[in-house]
Amino acid sequence: MASDVGTDVAERTHVQLSNAVVRFAGDSGDGMQLAGDQFTNQTAIAGNDLATLPDFPAEIRAPAGTLAGVSSFQLHFSDQDIHTPGDAPDVLVAMNPAALQKHLGALKSGGTLIINTDAFSGRNLTKAGYDEDPREDGSLTDYQLHEVDLTTLTLRALEGHIERGELNKKEAERCKNMLALGLVSWMFSRPIEETESWLESKFAKKPEVADANVAALRAGWNFGETTEAFVFTYEVKAAKLPPGRYRNITGNQALSYGLVAASVRSKLPLFCGSYPITPASDILHELAQLKRFNVNTFQAEDEIAAIGSVIGAAFGGSLAVTASSGPGIALKAEAMGLAMITELPCLIVNVQRGGPSTGLPTKTEQSDLFQVMFGRNGEAPIPIVAASSPADCFHAAIEAARIALTYRTPVVLLSDGYLANSAEPWRLPEVDDLPDLSADFGFTTEPNTPDGDFLPYLRDPETLARPWALPGTAGLEHRIGGIEKEDGSGHISYDPANHHRMAELRYERMDKIAAGLPPLEVDDPSGEADVLVVGWGSTEGPIRAACHDLRARGRNVARVHVRHLMPLPQDLPDLLRSYETVILPENNMGQLVTLLRSATLVDIKPYNRVTGQPFSATELIDVIETLGWGESA
C-alpha cells in the first residue's frame, strides 16, 4: 500500500495509493465471501484493475470459531494493470481470534488490522489456539490496530429492527459483515449505493432482511466517519485500462459464457451433462440459468453418466460438455477413451483442485496435467487447452470447442480452483470478433465414396477429422463403438497392422492440430533476455507480475505462456533451446517440466509448490532470480 501523496481533509489524512490489498477473514458463517464480493464490485466500479482470491474451507459449516472454519477473501486493486490477488495484505479484517491466528502472519508489518473485539472471548481464544489474549500480550504492536466491537455496533444499529420484531438478535448479529464492509468502504472512499441496491435485489423477497443489512452497512460507514480512531482514509485512482466496456468476471462464469459463445458461434445447441463437484459445480449452475440460449443441462447420477450423456449428445450433433474436477475426471477416464476412439467432438472441463483422492476440494492446484494427458488405457491422445486467467476461461473455452469441432475429438479444458473463484475486470469482446466456429465443420449428409457407400472413418486429409454424420440422416446409417476399427470403414478390426496404423493416425491428428496453432508469443521487451520463464494455466498472473518487477530492477527476463499442452506448439522446442536458462514454476511436483524435458531435452529448472494456494509474485521474483542468476535480491 505504497502511499503517494498525503492531503489533509479536516483532521484526517487522505492518502493516495497506487494499489492496496485487503483481506476479510472470519468464520465460514460470517459472510466473508459476500463482503469480499461486494467490495470487489465497488472496486470495479471505481475503475481499478483488480484480482481476487477467495479461500474457504471444504466443510460447509466447520465448527464455529475454529481455525478449520476460517474463510477469507482477498482483493488486490490498483491504478495499474495487475495480475495477482496480491501477496501480503495492507488491511486485514479479522472477525474472530481464529481468523486473526490464521491470517496475521500474512499482514504487512505496519499494516492496518481491524479486529472484531466482541469475538475475543475466552472460549474463542482457546478454540483459536491462543493461550493468551493477543490484544494484551504485545503481539499486535507492529500493526495499526483497530479494536472495533463490530457485533455490539451491529446490534445497536439494528435495535429498532429487533424491537419491531423484524428479525431476532441472532439474525441481526449476522449483519456484522455488512458493518465491516461499510467501514472498509469508508476507509477506501468507496460509495456504497451499489451494494445497497444489490442487497435490496438479493433480499427482494425479505425486505426486512435487506433493510437490516443496509442499516448495518451504513452504520459501518458512519462509524468510520465519526469515530476518531481512524486517522487515515485512502484512495486508489482508476486504472488506465484499455478503452472499452468492462465487467468483473470469475473463471467459472467466464468459462460458462465461453461455452455459450462457442454454441452461438458454432450454431450448435449446447448440452451440459455434469455431476456436482467442487470447484466445478458453478458451471452447471450457470448453464442451467442460460436455457434461453438453447442450452440443455442434465444433472447426471454420477460422473460416468455425465460424460456418457455428453457422448450421446455429441453423437446426436450437440456441442456437448461435462465439467468436473480431478476425482470426477478419474471416473470419466474410460468414457474419455470411448469419446477419443469414436472421435466425437466434446469438451471435458477439469477445474483442478488439490489432490490426490479427495485431496483439498476448495484449494487450487495444477496437478491433474498428467491425469488428463495419460490417465486412460491404451494410446489415447486427447488435446488439452489450459486457461490462464479468470477472464481467459472465456476464450479458452471457445478455443477448446474450435479444436473439438474442427478435428472431431474430445478436448480437455483445464482450469483450477483459483481461476474458478477469482474475479478480474474483463474487457468485453465484440461478439462479431469471436471466431466463427460454424465454418470449422459441417455435418456429413451424403455418402463419401464414389460407389455411394458411407465410410464413417474416411478422414479429411487436411485435418484427419472423420465425418460427423448424425442419426436421422437417411443412407448414412452406421455403427461406432469402443472396439478397434478398420481405417476408413470403421468396421471392427483385430488386424495387427491396422491397429498400429490407427494409433499412428490418432497421433497424426494431434500433429495437424499443432500445425494449425498460431506462433507462440514471447514476452521479452528487451529482446536480450537469456532467462526464459515458461508457465501454463493460472500461474500466468504471478509470473507476469514477477517478470515485470524483475525488469524494473534491470533483469532481462523473457516469458512464454503455454496454452496448448496437447499437442504442444511446434515452435516450443526451438524456443526453449534458444535460452541459456529456462525456468518453469507450476503448482504441482513437476509435471509440465517432465513433459517438456522429454520433448525438448532442455534441462529446464523447475519450481514446484503444492500448498493449495497460488504463487505470489514476491515468491516468484525470488525463485526466478535464484534459478536465473544464482542470487536473490
Partner 1 sequence: MTTNDSKLTKKDFTSDREVRWCPGCGDYAILATVQTLLPELGARPESTAFISGIGCSSRFPYYMDTYGFHTIHGRAPAVATGLAITRPDLDVWVVTGDGDGLSIGGNHLIHALRRNVNLKILLFNNEIYGLTKGQYSPTSPLGSVKKSTPMGSIDRPMNPVSLALGAEATFVARSIDTDRKHLSSVLEAAYNHRGAAFVEIYQNCNVFNDGAFMAIKDKDQKDHNQIRLTAGEPITFGPDGENAVVARGDGSMKIVPTEEAGDRVVIHDPNKPEPTTAFALARLSHNPTGPTPIGIFRDVDRAAYDEVSRDQVEQARVDQGEGSLEQLLGSGNVWDVVS
- Name which of residues 234 to 253 contact partner 1 (CB under 8 A): 238, 241-248
Closest distance of CB 34 from partner 1, Å: 15
Under the binding rule (CB under 8 A), the answer on residue 411 touching partner 1 is: no
Which residue type, as a one-letter code, is found at position 221?
W
Does 620 sit near partner 1 (CB under 8 A)? no
Give CA–CA dist 134/123, Å, rounded. 14
Build a one-symbol-per-residue string for 272-291: x at contacts with partner 1 by CB under 8 A, - elsewhere.
-x----------------xx
Identity of the residue, 95 or 283, whose beta carbon is nearer to partner 1 in the bound complex: 283
501 near 493, Cβ under 8 Å?
no
Q: Decide: is 476 part of the binding site for partner 1 (CB under 8 A).
A: yes
Please list every residue from 78 through 107 that binds partner 1, using CB under 8 A. Answer: none
Please give the DSSP secondary-structure letter assigned to residue 166: S
Q: Which is nearer to partner 1, 317 or 535 (CB)?
A: 317
Of 561, 506, 501, nearest to 532 by C-alpha is 561
Residue 375 touching partner 1 (CB under 8 A): no
Task: Compute CA 135 distance to the chain's CA centroid, rounded to the nearest angstrom.
Answer: 36
- Report the distance separating Cα 252 and Cα 323, nearest Å: 10
> Which of 474, 497, 528, 580 forms a contact with partner 1 (CB under 8 A)?
474
- Which residues are within 8 A (CB) of 395 and not within 5 positions of it... i.e. 6 or more apart? 258, 387
490 contacts partner 1 (rule: CB under 8 A)? no
- Measured torsion, CA atoms of residues 325, 329, 331, 335, in degrees rounded to the nearest 10: 140
Q: Tell which one of 9, 229, 439, 492 touches partner 1 (CB under 8 A).
A: 492
The residues near 101 (Cβ < 8 Å, ≥ 6 apart) are: 67, 128, 129, 130, 134
Q: Map the footprint of partner 1 across residues 180-199, applying CB under 8 A.
A: 194
Asked if 473 touches partner 1 (CB under 8 A), the answer is yes
Q: Which of 229, 439, 483, 515 binds partner 1 (CB under 8 A)?
A: 483
Minimum distance, C-beta of residue 427 to partner 1, in the bound complex (Å): 8
Length of the chain: 633
Closest distance of CB 442 from partner 1, Å = 18
Please list every residue from 131 through 170 that binds partner 1, using CB under 8 A.
Answer: none
Which residue lies nearer to partner 1 by CB, 472 or 527? Answer: 472
Q: What part of residues 46-75 is at the interface with partner 1 (CB under 8 A)?
A: 47
Query: What DSSP assignment string belongs to 429-441?
Result: PPGGGS--GGGG-
Q: Which of residues 292-351 bind partner 1 (CB under 8 A)?
A: 292-296, 298, 300-302, 304-318, 320, 334-335, 337-338, 342
Size of the site for partner 1 (CB under 8 A): 72
Contact by Cβ (8 Å): 422, 54: yes
φ, ψ (nearest 5 deg) of residue 222 = -65, -35
Taking the CA atoms of residue 260, residue 266, residue 267 and residue 268 in that order, the dihedral angle to the nearest 10 degrees is -70
Which x/- pattern over 564-603 shows residues binding partner 1 (rule: CB under 8 A)?
Answer: ----------------------------------------
Out of 188, 271, 407, 457, which residue is the one contacting partner 1 (CB under 8 A)? 271
Question: How far from 496 is each of 295, 484, 509, CA to CA, in Å?
Answer: 43, 10, 20
The reply to whether 41 sits near partner 1 by the rule CB under 8 A is yes
Check binding of 481 to partner 1 (CB under 8 A).
yes
For the bound state, the minimum distance from the C-beta of residue 468 to partner 1, rounded and expressed in Å, comes to 13
With respect to partner 1, which residue has the nearer C-beta, 400 or 558?
A: 400
Residues 6+ apart with CB under 8 A from 612: 354, 360, 363, 364, 365
| Chain centroid, CA 338 distance in Å | 29
